Amino acid sequence: MKFWNFIYKQLNEQNKVILMTVIESRGSSPGRQGFKMAVSENFEMQGSIGGGIMEYQMVELAKTLFDKPFKTFIKRQNHNKKAKKDQSGMICSGHQIIAFHLLNPNKENLNLINEIIECLKNNCNKSLMLLPDKLFLLEEKLKNQYEIKLIDENNWEYYEKIAYKNEIYIIGGGHVGLALSEMMRFLDFYVHIIDERKNLNTLKQNKFAHKIHHTEYDKIATLIPEGNNIYVVIMTHKHIDDKNVLKNLIRKKIKYLGLMGSKTKVKTIFEQLKNENFSDKELNVVHSPIGIDIKSETPEEIAVSIAAEIVKTKNKG
């Protein structure tokens, strides 16, 4: 969201913007498919295409393009000093292909960027399509997060889902829920907060969650979808609510399910669920006590430990 807001602001201020998009990456490339960077006419920047000397060189190239006749192009970067051409200056192996688009400050581009921003706000199912001559949004859904059809430098198509790749459902809107909302939004998750309480002070303070749901916990299973991009953290204010929420979610096919609590509390809940015919195999999928052990004490430290465990799980694939 921050990235597209930057582009909208620059265009609205009548500055041209060079949009760089990694449309393909292979091997140990620092810039992964979907990475983006924007360089404005006043040389302000947002985003990243992988960092290091390669990114510096691409930014410097982008800065030279504003005062020249422009045609969209793609540029390959080989991260290997033995490569015969297109060396990036990096030695991590692999390669990436970067598409360069010029966005002029006109109504058409402002409308497109605004549509992307609104789409992200609502976590819509539209797809972004990049071609050698234009960018636009498609209504159709993609099977994969990214898709590319690359024939040669003048004939290619790139598609990506515009919705957030990952969603987190934080069940419990207290102090840790507030801190975790901020952390996970920073990590580019679509953040849901769920709590039965409507007048909770920390819910009113929560400006980081994309959606706040006031829902009875016994109905929670209908709210949370299944999927390999769904992450759930249980941290209600009552032991019995934690147990009942876990009971309703434990058999869902999701990427991550975590339960906050002391070892004693977790042991008690697990023993109760075993008595209700939940197996050890089912209970073993639950990350609990939650988070990476960093001896965290404050809500912010606990949020860091949970976020770290979630990122670790996400990046395992």
Q: So what's the pLDDT on residue 234? A: 97
Q: Is the pLDDT of residue 93 over 80?
A: no
Q: Is the pLDDT of residue 1 over 90?
A: no
Q: Is the pLDDT of residue 140 over 80?
A: no
**Domain C-terminal end among 134, 161, 188:** 161
Paired tokens of 188:
């580019």
Q: So what's the pLDDT on residue 291? A: 92
pLDDT in tens, 146-182: 899 998 888 999 999 888 889 999 999 999 999 999 9
**Domain C-terminal end among 145, 161, 177:** 161
Q: Does 230 lie in the same domain as 114?
A: no
Q: Does 44 lie in the same domain as 30?
A: yes
What is the CATH number for 255? 3.40.50.720
Q: So what's the pLDDT on residue 252? A: 94
Contacts of 269 (CB under 8 A, 6+ apart): 239, 242, 243, 246, 259, 261
Taking the model in full, what pTM does it have?
Answer: 0.76
Q: Is the pLDDT of residue 87 over 80?
A: no
Q: Is the pLDDT of residue 142 over 80?
A: no
Q: So what's the pLDDT on residue 20? A: 97
pLDDT in tens, 224-236: 999 999 999 999 9
Kindly state the average pLDDT of the residues 271-277. 94
pLDDT in tens, 115-135: 999 988 888 888 999 999 889
Q: So what's the pLDDT on residue 139? A: 83
Per-residue pLDDT band at 145 (split at 50, 70, 90): confident
Per-residue pLDDT band at 259 (split at 50, 70, 90): very high
Q: How far apart are CA 239 and CA 216, in angstroms?
A: 15
Q: Does 110 lie in the same domain as 234?
A: no
pLDDT in tens, 198-225: 889 999 999 999 999 999 998 899 999 9
Q: Does 171 lie in the same domain as 149?
A: no
**Domain C-terminal end among 127, 161, 195:** 161
Q: Does 6 lie in the same domain as 151?
A: yes
Per-residue pLDDT band at 73 (split at 50, 70, 90): very high
Q: Is the pLDDT of residue 317 over 70?
A: no
Q: Does 138 lie in the same domain as 9?
A: yes
**Structural domain count, the chain:** 2
What rounded mean pLDDT belongs to the chain? 91
Kindly state the average pLDDT of the residues 54-61. 94
Q: Mean pLDDT check: name the lowest of 30-44, 65-79, 85-99, 111-125.
A: 85-99
Q: Does 134 lie in the same domain as 71?
A: yes
Q: Does 255 lie in the same domain as 227?
A: yes
Q: Does 13 lie in the same domain as 137?
A: yes
Q: Is the pLDDT of residue 91 over 90?
A: no
Domain limits for position 122: 2-161
